[in-house]
Amino acid sequence: MNFGRQLDFLTRLLTPRRAATAAPTPPPESAAALEARAHELLHGLHCEALAARLRVRWNSRMRSTAGTALASKSLITLNPRLRDFGDEEVDRTLRHELAHLLAHFRAGRRRIAPHGPEWQRACRDLGLTDEKRCHTLPLPRRKMQSRLLYRCPVCALEVKRVRVFRSKTACLACCRRHNHGQYDDRFRFVKVPLHQ
């Protein structure tokens, strides 16, 4: 009997204790719910065609960016870490990225600056009155060395890049000045040696 108690005591001593479980956190807002909210905002602005194509996704691979908007696919991608900053920040970032899609939708085939007057107007229409170009959230930033340099053959504007341009890219200022904002191959950026 004494041996049995000792064995029971040793078993309890060596068995790892389960940590007290924290109260379950409420589930984060789903991408479908955010997409529905974006559809509602677009319908309020009579942009049903854009609302029909729009998709919203969470992307766990995002690190330092709060969100992105890809106009060619009508896709908004959000960083799941936004949830740590509350529902207001998720909503603000959703509207910020939606403003990019709305601005491109309204501009049609005309090229626009990413955070130019068209985007600013779209922000106001979506209820963002004093929206800044970039977020100020303390998301980790990764410093990457620019190893590429491109130059406009006409105005000599230089653009440093970490990655190669994947598609034909031209100087926006020259395209606006000489071709009504439409892409023109005369102003396509040319890769040049990087100054050290």
Task: Please provide residue 52's backbone torsions phi and psi, each rounded to the nearest 5 degrees.
Answer: -65, -30
User: Considering the domain boundaries, does residue 24 fall inside one?
Assistant: no
- Is residue 151 scored above 70 in pLDDT? yes
107 and 59, same structural domain? yes
Name the band, by pLDDT with cuts 50, 70 and 90, for residue 22: very low
Q: Are 40 and 121 within one domain?
A: yes
Residue 15 confidence class, pLDDT cut points 50, 70, 90: low
Q: Which two tokens stand for residue 125?
A: 């229409």
Segment among 102-106, 122-126, 143-147, 179-183 with least mean pLDDT: 143-147
Number of domains in the chain: 2
pTM, to two decimals: 0.62
Residues 108 and 185 in one domain: no
pLDDT attached to residue 135: 67
DSSP-derived secondary structure letter, 185: G
| pLDDT of residue 91 exceeding 60 | yes
Going by pLDDT thresholds of 50, 70 and 90, the confidence category of residue 71 is very high
Judge contact between 118 and 66, C-beta under 8 A. Answer: no
In this model, does residue 157 exceed pLDDT 70?
Answer: yes
Residue 106 and residue 50 share a domain: yes
**48 in the same domain as 90:** yes
Tokens of 44: 């309020």
User: Which of 48, 88, 97, 158 does the annotation list as catalytic?
Assistant: 97
**How is residue 124 written in tokens?**
């106001």
Task: Look over the chain and give the mean of its residue pLDDT values, rounded to a whole number.
Answer: 85
In a domain, 175, yes or no: yes
Residue 59 lies in a domain: yes
Q: Are residues 106 and 168 in the same domain?
A: no
54 and 110 inside one domain: yes
Contact 148, 194 (CB under 8 A): yes
Long-range contacts of 103-111 (CB under 8 A, 24+ apart): 104/71, 105/47, 105/49, 105/50, 105/71, 109/182, 110/180, 110/181, 110/182, 111/172, 111/175, 111/176, 111/181, 111/182, 111/183
Instruction: Tell me the β-bridge partners of 148.
Output: 161
Q: How many C-beta atoms surround the C-beta of residue 36 within 10 A? A: 12
Q: Which two tokens stand for residue 104?
A: 């491109």
Is residue 28 over pLDDT 90?
Answer: no
178 contact partners, CB below 8 Å, separation of at least 6 = 154, 184, 186, 187
> E strands along the chain, which residues?
55-58, 67-70, 75-78, 148-151, 158-161, 190-192
Q: What is the mean pLDDT of residues 126-142?
A: 76
- Which comes out higher in pLDDT, residue 15 or 166? 166
Measured distance CA(194)–CA(160) in Å, rounded: 8
| pLDDT at 27 exceeding the cut of 60 | no
Could you list the residue range(s) of the whole structural domain that residue 51 is in?
A: 31-125
Bridge partner list, 102 = none
Cβ count near 118 (within 10 Å) = 20
The answer to whether residue 88 is catalytic is no
